[in-house]
A and B are shown apart, each in its own frame.
Chain A
Amino acid sequence: MNLGTKIARSCELVDNMWMQVEDLKNTLNAMTESALEKGALKNFQGAGRSTSTHEMGASHWSYSATANSFPVMQKRRRKAEPSAWIHYQISVFGSGIPPFEHCEQETMGPVLHVSFWRERMDFSNPQLCVTFPSEWQEYDIKDHRLIYWADDTESEYSQWTFSIRLLELNSEVALERSVLTPIMKLFAGESATSALPSDLPGLIFYAHAERGNDGWDLVANKSDDASV
């Protein structure tokens, strides 16, 4: 295959990827709305319409990431006012892809980051999206799989993020198993290992890596063993 063909095929590939990402987003939207509607997310209910944001690639000709955010509020509240958001950040390329530990040539590939945060998603602010190296403050990693911000005195619930390799999501059943069920279990107060078992398809495991004077960074692995 000559280089011109490879370039043309690569562009077709990107276009195709986004078409399938669109289908994935639509399905995730429907599943999340249905879960909120049915009261399956423990103490939370929907607090308005979901919003969509995108991150442009350097050329501004295509997106590198997209995110859908669902505003939620505690059930006992009457006025629709979001107190937190469920975010689905899909990073196809760029800074949203977590770096592999001990391997600079390969990448983790496209990733779905699932977060429950008290802040709106904002790709222009590295603290308000999933990006590597991360600029988050005072987070912890639970059992190598759940990035976690402990509860503070002002709020009644913790914030978290977990990540799934996008290419492992190959059906609506897989979305239910690897995305929605873990969310429901985390809302129900189950532990990181129970909500995100080691054999969960596509689960990304995180570890800290030294960054010299810059502190430490998040790196990723495909299996639990490698990050221990």
Chain B
Amino acid sequence: MLHAFARNKSKAFNQYLPTRNPSEQRINSEDEITSLVFGPLEFLSASDNWKIWKAILQNNASLSISGSLPPDFLADFSPTSVTYDFWPKKNRVEPDLVVEFLNDLGKSRSLLIELKWDAPPSGEDQLRKQWLSFQDGKHASSLHLFISKRALQEPADLHLWSCREAGASIENRLRQIRWHDFKHELVQQVLRRDASMSLRKWCELTSGFLHHLRIRPFVGFFRTLQLATAIEEEVNPHLVFWSK
């Protein structure tokens, strides 16, 4: 589908745009967007996956909202495999995605991911329940990502996400990333020569899809000014202000 959007063969993304007409049928867009954006990553190599998630986690805007990254998560780790588990269920708690990386020593790094499009988290303690159900006992090697259009208005109680395991740093393990910043990292990756062709292609197609969904930076009114200039002024022959 990403290819069809990129080549203008489909306008199906329109169904994910905020509707102005309340009588129009709304669809559950979040799960479909999750699948469209993250599904292809499952087929990329572990090193490509590590590279893009590392870039997303190190995004400047995200760091300014969530604080420094726990250094023990990224340092000295080269994954040899990656698995994607979409909508896993445990104790009636269902996050959107769990990504798990393994290296050749059997050590793991995992990302517990909750994605929101227009809606806020479902219930105040949705994130808390996810972290407790899925990452208990694995805090030292995990991060919890909340990707949304807007940062959480009322920050969660961060004590829960500080590490309780020996040897791990205490930086905030709940990371907030806006879709705008997520897309920014994808666009940067397209420009990088050291990224693999497959990763760059995914970044290009996915950032294009997000652009259709109005995740795009403000660049001024250049296009509008061009159109306005193109509507040339004409002297109206019927208007005569004085006669000779």
- A residues with CB within 8 A of B: 1, 6, 9-10, 12-13, 16-17, 20, 22-24, 26-30, 33-34, 37-38, 46, 48-49, 80, 166-167, 169-172, 174-175
Contact = CB atoms under 8 A, between A and B. Distances in A.
B231 A23 contact: no
A85 to B, nearest CB: 14
Interface in B196-219: 214-219
A13 B224 contact: yes
Contact of B227 (A12, A169, A170, A171): A12
B120 A49 contact: yes
Contact of B221 (A6, A27, A37, A167): A167
B232 to A, nearest CB: 6
B76 interface: no
Contacts of B223: 16, 20
A6 B220 contact: no
Contact of A27 (B64, B65, B217, B222): B217
Contact of A172 (B150, B154, B217, B225): B217
A40 to B, nearest CB: 11
A9 B219 contact: no
Given A26-B216, A80-B153, 11 more contacts: A13-B228, A16-B224, A17-B224, A24-B218, A26-B149, A28-B218, A34-B151, A37-B155, A49-B120, A169-B221, A170-B222
Contacts of B240: none
Interface string B90-130: 00000000000000000000000000000010000000000
Given A170-B221, A171-B218, A9 B151 contact: no
Contacts of B225: 167
Interface string B129-145: 00000000000000000
B230 interface: yes
A86 to B, nearest CB: 14
Given A9-B231, A26-B180, A48-B153, A37 B65 contact: yes
| Size range of the chain B interface in the assembly | 20 to 34
Given A23-B217, A37-B65, A30 B224 contact: no
Interface in B146-181: 149-151, 153-155, 178, 180
A48 B61 CA distance: 21
20 contacts: A6-B231, A9-B230, A12-B227, A17-B221, A20-B221, A20-B224, A23-B217, A27-B180, A30-B178, A30-B180, A33-B151, A34-B61, A34-B65, A38-B64, A49-B150, A80-B154, A166-B221, A170-B220, A172-B217, A174-B220
Given A13-B227, A20-B221, A172-B218, A29 B232 contact: no
B24 interface: no
B234 interface: yes
B188 to A, nearest CB: 16
Contacts of B219: 23, 170-171
Contacts of B224: 13, 16-17, 20
B150 A33 contact: yes
B175 to A, nearest CB: 14
A12 B226 CA distance: 12
Interface string B17-36: 00000000000000000000
Question: Which 7 A-B pairs give the minimum distances between C-beta atoms?
Answer: A170-B220, A27-B218, A13-B227, A23-B218, A17-B224, A24-B218, A9-B231
Contacts of A24: 218
A1 B217 contact: no
A169 B64 contact: no
Contacts of B232: 1
Nearest to A28: B218
Contacts of A166: 221
A108 to B, nearest CB: 14
Contacts of A6: 231
Nearest to A25: B218
